[in-house]
Amino acid sequence: MKLTAYFREFFLRNGLTLGVFLLTAVAFWMLVLILLPQVFMVDFSLRHNLPPAAVGGPQDVYTLEHFKFMLYGSEQARGSYNTVDLSVFFRTLLAAVFVTIFDFALCYPIAFFLAKVAKGGWARLMVLSLLVPFWVNELLRAFAFRIVFGNTGVINAVLIWAGIIDQPIDFIRENIALYAGLSYAFILLMIFPIFNAVESLDSNQIEAARDLGSPWWRIHWRVVMPFAKPGITSGCTMVFMLSAGALASPQILGGPSSLWFTQIIYQWFQTGNNWHRGSAYAIVLLASTIIFVLIMMKVFKVKLGEIAG
């Protein structure tokens, strides 16, 4: 009854044509584009990988096979853990955390500098120039890092020329190129939320803290960072989620002996020909990153609403 009243009011306010448009568009987006695909993916991950003829037959029952596979490996090798996939999984999460911390350490000073220190035309030019690298395709950015970090790349050439090393360092095998490339890819996503948050801080607060004799690091620790916490959190969340879910950079910059978790998912789809298992792995990735972010928010005492606002 309440619902019909609600809808009546909705159509009264918007008129019939517009109301129908709004409802269909939003319903299409939420259901067909977002929610149903996720539901189907979960359903898919809980089924056996059967030949097309057997789909829907008596064998087509729900199973946890694919999740078990990620934990314990194939049926024959039960008893020990699936160390290959699990180590890739944890290494990916750890590396994503590392990339996030690195990006924060790099971007917080820059964001503060742009918001509070830099003035006038220079500040505007710097903000604009931050955008330029992000007009370049993600793959091309990774490609650029491959050139820079390659065996005959600029960095090795400079180091050899300076006499610091006499053999080129294999940055790609050491995954240094990958971490540098991933951190690079998400700089903008870290800077802008922090920049927005810091900019809205009243500069008088900083002045007051300084006048009261606070050293610069304590001003940041006790005044600026607590104020900018929502911005910092949303920046860190985005960088963490996106670097854990990155595919292009690890494919291009990853060392030959190390994989990113998304690459395993990709392999199940493209070469392993087991979409069910790939879906299961994708769900593990999605769930674990979300849970990790929620735990971190709890640790740092940030509420979800603060970020959205």
Q: Restricting to residues 109-168, which ones interact with another protein according to CB under 8 A? A: 109-110, 113, 117, 126, 129-130, 132-133, 135-148, 150-154, 157, 166-167
* Residue (of 205, 257, 261, 210) closest to 92 by Cα position: 261
**Does 295 sit near another protein (CB under 8 A)?**
no
Dist CA 164 CA 236 (whole Å): 35
CB of 187 to another protein, least distance (A): 7
| 248 binds another protein, rule: CB under 8 A | yes
Instruction: Note whether 26 binds another protein by CB under 8 A.
Output: yes
- Three-state DSSP class for residue 221: helix
Number of residues that bind another protein (CB under 8 A): 87
- Of 76-84, 86-94, 102-110, 218-226, the window that binds another protein (rule: CB under 8 A) is 102-110
Binding segment for another protein among 60-68, 84-92, 202-210, 261-269 (CB under 8 A)?
261-269
CB of 282 vs another protein, minimal distance in Å = 5
Contacting another protein within 60-89 (CB under 8 A): none
First to last CA, the chain: 32
d(CA 118, CA 87): 44
Indicate the residue among 36 and 84 with the shorter CB distance to another protein: 36
Please give the C-alpha separations between residue 224 and each of 190, 194, 302, 305, 306, in angstroms, as whole numbers. 16, 10, 16, 20, 16
Alpha carbon separation from 57 to 43, 54, 261 (Å, rounded): 16, 5, 32
CB of 30 to another protein, least distance (A): 6
